[in-house]
Amino acid sequence: MIAVIGEKPSVARDIARILGASEKQDGYLSGNGYLVTWAFGHLVGLAMPEAYGIQSFRRESLPIIPDSFQLTPRQVKAEKGYKADPGALKQLKVIKEVFDQSDKIIVATDAGREGELIFRYIYQYIGCGKPFVRLWISSLTDKAIREGLQNLKAGNLYDNLFRSAQARSEADYLIGINGTQALSVAAGQGIFSLGRVQSPTLAMICNRYLENKNFVPQKYWQLKLQAAKDDVSFTALSADKYDMQQSAIDTLQRIKEAETVQVKTIECKEVNQEPPFLYDLTTLQKEANTKLNFSADKTLSIAQKLYEGKLISYPRTGSRYISQDVFEEIPERLADLEKYSRFAGYAAGMKGKALNSRSVNDSKVTDHHALIVTENLPGKMEADEQAIYELIAGRMLEAFSEKCVKDVTSVTLDCVGSLFTVKGSVIKSAGWRGVFAEKEDGEDNATLPAMQDGDSLPLSDIELLEKQTKPKPLHTESSLLSSMETAGKELENAELKARMKDAGIGTPATRAAIIETLFSRQYIIREKKNLVPTEKGLAVYNIIRNKKIADVEMTGMWENTLAKIESGEMNPDTFRKGIEVYARQITAELLDVPLSFASGSGCICPKCKTGRILFYPKVAKCSNVDCSVTIFRNKSDKQLTDKQITELVTTGKTGLIKGFKSKNGKVFDASLAFDEQFNVTFVFPEKKGKPKK
Q: What angle do CA 86, 513, 119 make, to 5 degrees?
A: 50
pLDDT in tens, 331-376: 999 999 999 999 999 999 999 899 999 999 988 887 789 999 999 9
| Contact in structure between 457 and 229 (CB atoms under 8 Å) | yes
Active site residues per annotation: 314
Tell whether the model's pLDDT for residue 502 goes beyond 60.
no
Percentage of the residues of the chain whose pLDDT score is greater than 70 = 94
**Which pLDDT band, with edges at 50, 70 and 90, does 612 fall under?**
confident
Query: Distances from the Cα of 484 to the Cαs of 174, 228, 476, 559, 574, in angstroms?
Result: 21, 47, 12, 11, 25
Q: Once rounded to an integer, what is the mean pLDDT over residues 607-627?
A: 79
User: Residue 366's pLDDT is what?
Assistant: 73
Distance CA 174, CA 157 (A): 28
Angle (deg, nearest 10), helices 86-100 and 113-125: 80
User: Residue 289's pLDDT is what?
Assistant: 96
At a CB cut-off of 8 Å and minimum separation 6, what does 632 contact? 618, 619, 680
User: Residue 693's pLDDT is what?
Assistant: 45
Q: Give residue 7's identity as a one-letter amino acid code.
A: E
**How many CB atoms neighbour CB 682 within 10 A?**
14
Tell whether the model's pLDDT for residue 237 goes beyond 90.
yes
User: Residue 377's pLDDT is what?
Assistant: 94
pLDDT in tens, 643-655: 899 899 999 999 9
User: Residue 616's pLDDT is what?
Assistant: 72
**Which pLDDT band, with edges at 50, 70 and 90, does 118 fall under?**
very high
Mean pLDDT of the chain: 90
pLDDT in tens, 572-582: 999 999 999 99
Alpha-helical runs (H) found in 71-152? 86-100, 113-125, 142-150
- Residue 512 backbone dihedrals phi, psi, to 5 degrees: -60, -45
Percentage of the residues of the chain whose pLDDT score is greater than 90 = 70
Query: Distances from the Cα of 275 to the Cαs of 268, 327, 355, 395, 431, in angstroms?
Result: 22, 16, 11, 9, 8
User: Residue 210's pLDDT is what?
Assistant: 96
Distance CA 637, CA 660 (A): 6
Alpha-helical runs (H) found in 400-434? none
**Which pLDDT band, with edges at 50, 70 and 90, does 504 fall under?**
confident
User: Residue 517's pLDDT is what?
Assistant: 94
- Residue 75 backbone dihedrals phi, psi, to 5 degrees: -100, 145
Query: Which of 679, 646, 640, 631 lies closest to 660, judged by CA?
Result: 640
User: Residue 190's pLDDT is what?
Assistant: 63
At a CB cut-off of 8 Å and minimum separation 6, what does 267 contact? 409, 410, 411
Distance CA 558, CA 444 (A): 45
User: Residue 159's pLDDT is what?
Assistant: 97
**Which pLDDT band, with edges at 50, 70 and 90, does 615 fall under?**
confident
| Contact in structure between 610 and 199 (CB atoms under 8 Å) | no
pLDDT in tens, 12-54: 999 999 999 999 999 999 999 999 999 998 999 999 999 999 9
The string of DSSP codes covering 280-325 is -HHHHHHHHHHHH---HHHHHHHHHHHHHTTSBS-SS-----B-HH
DSSP state of 92: H
pTM confidence score: 0.80
Query: Distances from the Cα of 669 to the Cαs of 178, 453, 547, 661, 662, in angstroms?
Result: 44, 88, 49, 9, 10
User: Residue 580's pLDDT is what?
Assistant: 95
Per DSSP, what are the bridge partners of residue 620?
A: 615, 631
pLDDT in tens, 390-415: 999 999 999 999 999 999 999 999 99
